[in-house]
Amino acid sequence: MGTSRSPEELAKKLGAAGAGLIKNNPDAVAASANAYKNAVLDQARKDSGGDLKLSRWGKNGTKLNAGYELKGGAQASALLRPRPAGPWRVLESGARPHLIVPGLTRRQARALTLFSVLAGQGGSLDGYDVGALAATARGNRNNRGGSGRRKRRPPLNIGGNFRAYAQHPGTKGKGTWSKGLTKGDKAGPLAYRRKQVEGLMKVFGT
CA proximity to 170, closest of 129, 104, 119, 117: 117
Q: What pTM, to 2 d.p., does this model score?
A: 0.67
C-alpha to C-alpha distance for 139 and 160, rounded to whole angstroms:
28
First-to-final CA distance of the chain: 7
Distances (CA, A) of 84 to 55, 98, 106: 14, 20, 16
CA 185 to chain CA centroid, nearest Å? 18
C-alpha to C-alpha distance for 39 and 33, rounded to whole angstroms:
10
CA proximity to 31, closest of 182, 192, 189, 150: 192
DSSP assignment of 150-167 equals -PPPPPEEETTEEES-EE
- The per-residue pLDDT for range 163-202, each reduced to its tens digit, is 666 666 678 899 999 999 999 999 999 999 999 888 777 7
- The per-residue pLDDT for range 70-127, each reduced to its tens digit, is 998 888 999 999 999 989 998 999 877 766 666 667 677 667 666 665 655 555 556 6
- The per-residue pLDDT for range 32-45, each reduced to its tens digit, is 999 999 999 999 99
